[in-house]
Amino acid sequence: KLKLGVLISGRGSNLQALIDACAAPDFPAEIALVLSNKADALGLERASGAGIATAVVSHRDHAGDKAAFEAAMDATLRDAGVELICLAGFMRLLSPWFVGRWQDRLINIHPSLLPSFKGLDTHQRALTTGVRFHGCTVHFVRPEMDEGPIIAQAAVPVLPGDDAARLGQRVLDAEHKLYPHAVRLIAEGRARIDGDLVRIEGPAPELAAML
Ligand code: GAR
């Protein structure tokens, strides 16, 4: 099974979705480590509750020294035998050094249909812009924020009366299905990077079932 390292900063509901997916015997990945940059992240409790190893590498312990912070994370992930890093609500921007070290083995989930709405506050910005569909994206990480080859996306409608919270919850429900789906594609070797694109090999019937 592909060994995952899940990086979190907070609540960890996407981590929970990955924990639940990995509990199925036929899922082709397992979580080797959950790493948080915040000691009080709720997601750490979810991991310990599921018997998964956890680590905290605090950016505050390396204040002003991003290189040292990232070197500590890198060493911790390597020691745990991590093969694929999944960013799941990890709210620190990673340097080109770190991204390069994990080239094509580092993925992120973002709460919008990229390339629309990079950055923060995506649900309010979708409402303000008046888009009729919103959603989430799983992509390979590149040094530029919220850029990189797209692995999978899920769209949700923007409905009359939505506020950012309601729309955000609809997107979050989609995220919880999308992230395990994307990890499965990679673990099965079916998401092949081809330049700036990801080619999906073979049928993906689980995607139809998801929507
Ligand atoms: C998720 O909506 C995720 O897409 C988003 O943060 C939330 C984390 O929730 N990520 C980003 O905004 C990355 N810039 P979670 O901790 O419950 O998974």
How many angstroms is it from 89 CA to the middle of ligand 1?
Answer: 4
Distances (CA, A) of 64 to 70, 101, 111, 154: 12, 21, 28, 37
- The pLDDT value recorded for residue 207 is 63
- The pLDDT value recorded for residue 59 is 87
How many angstroms is it from 88 CA to the middle of ligand 1?
Answer: 6
- The pLDDT value recorded for residue 61 is 87
- The pLDDT value recorded for residue 60 is 86
- The pLDDT value recorded for residue 210 is 63
Of 204, 86, 109, 113, nearest to 167 by C-alpha is 113
Choosing from 59, 62, 110, 123, which is the catalytic residue? Answer: 110
How far, in whole angstroms, is CA 104 from its chain's centroid?
Answer: 14
CB 117 within 8 A of CB 35: no
Task: Confirm whether residue 73 is marked as ligand binding.
Answer: no
- The pLDDT value recorded for residue 82 is 99
- The pLDDT value recorded for residue 99 is 98
Q: Whose CA is nearest to atom 1 of ligand 1?
A: 89
Query: Rounded to two decimals, what is the model's pTM?
Result: 0.96
Q: Whose CA is nearest to atom 6 of ligand 1?
A: 89
Judge whether 110 counts as a catalytic residue.
yes
Over its length of 211 residues, how does the chain's per-residue pLDDT go in tens digits?
999 999 999 999 999 999 999 999 999 999 999 999 999 999 999 999 999 999 999 988 888 899 999 999 999 999 999 999 999 999 999 999 999 999 999 999 999 999 999 999 999 999 999 999 999 999 999 999 999 999 999 999 999 999 999 999 999 999 999 999 999 999 999 999 999 999 999 877 666 556 5
Q: Is the ipTM of this complex over 0.95?
A: yes
Of 41, 34, 54, 37, nearest to 10 by C-alpha is 41
